[in-house]
């Protein structure tokens, strides 16, 4: 009986690495419950290593500052589940409930919490599925309202993001 040999230079390790990562992802996916159904827009936390920054971020969206329109507050459902730690946009989009009514998803990831401006990731779920940009917390209320009511489209905000990909508001005319 002859054993099959691999050609010179063949490495089995990268193949096993991919298999282990896929297996871990499948295990994670099976343990990941669908994101909650809500009539509010979802804001999903995917970084659990920066608790003080998380609290500061929550404060920044609850109290946007005197220069912002304080009469309106975004209708948000904040999702905090350690199973979502380090989850990327693709699996998050796949975990949305079928009855999710919004065309976008807010994600508070590592960059959001580490950057002094706390730029939140927003994902287009309908028109240009998967397209993203970031926004400063002071813009969450306006963007949530305009996208939820279909007053504006995702691209109108995305196309007006600054060169670094962060939307800080429309330019003054």
* Chain centroid, CA 160 distance in Å: 19
| Residue 159, CA distances (Å) to 107, 127, 144, 164 in order | 19, 14, 16, 12
pLDDT greater than 90 at residue 140: yes
Mean pLDDT of 137-157: 94
Cβ-Cβ contacts under 8 Å for 28 (sequence gap 6 or more): 83, 87
Q: Give the per-residue pLDDT at 68.
A: 54
Q: What is the pTM of this model?
A: 0.78
DSSP letter for each residue of 30-99 = HH-PPPPP-SSEEEEE---S-HHHHHHHHHHHHS--TTS-TT----EEEEE-GGGTT--HHHHHHTS-TT
7-16 pLDDT per residue, tens = 555 444 444 4
Token pair of 75, please? 């209708």
**CATH 3.40.440.10, domain 35-167, yes or no:** no
Spell out a b/e string for 130-169, using b for 16 or more CB atoms within 10 Å of the CB, else e: eebbbbbbbbbbbbbbebbeeeebbeebbeebeeeebbbe
pLDDT greater than 50 at residue 116: yes
* Residues 41, 88: Cα–Cα separation, whole Å: 18
3-state helix, strand, coil in the chain (%, to 5): 35, 15, 50
In this prediction, residue 74 has a pLDDT band, given cuts at 50, 70 and 90, of confident
Q: Give the per-residue pLDDT at 135.
A: 97
In this prediction, residue 148 has a pLDDT band, given cuts at 50, 70 and 90, of very high
């Amino acid at each position: 009986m002859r054993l099959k040999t691999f050609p010179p230079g063949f490495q089995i390790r990268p193949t096993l690495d991919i298999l282990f990562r896929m297996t871990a992802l499948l295990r994670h996916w099976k343990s990941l419950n669908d994101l909650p159904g809500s009539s509010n827009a979802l804001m999903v936390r995917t970084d659990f290593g920066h608790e003080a920054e998380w609290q500061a971020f929550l404060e920044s969206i609850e109290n946007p500052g005197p220069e912002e329109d304080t009469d309106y507050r975004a209708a948000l459902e904040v999702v905090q589940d350690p199973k979502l730690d380090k989850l990327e946009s693709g699996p998050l989009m796949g975990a949305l409930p079928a009855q999710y009514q919004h065309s976008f998803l807010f994600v508070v990831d590592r960059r959001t919490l580490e950057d002094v401006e706390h730029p939140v990731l927003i994902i287009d779920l309908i028109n240009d599925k998967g397209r993203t940009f970031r926004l400063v917390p002071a813009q969450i209320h306006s963007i949530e309202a305009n996208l939820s009511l279909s007053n504006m489209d995702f691209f109108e905000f995305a196309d007006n993001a600054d060169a670094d990909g962060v939307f800080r508001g429309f330019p003054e005319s």
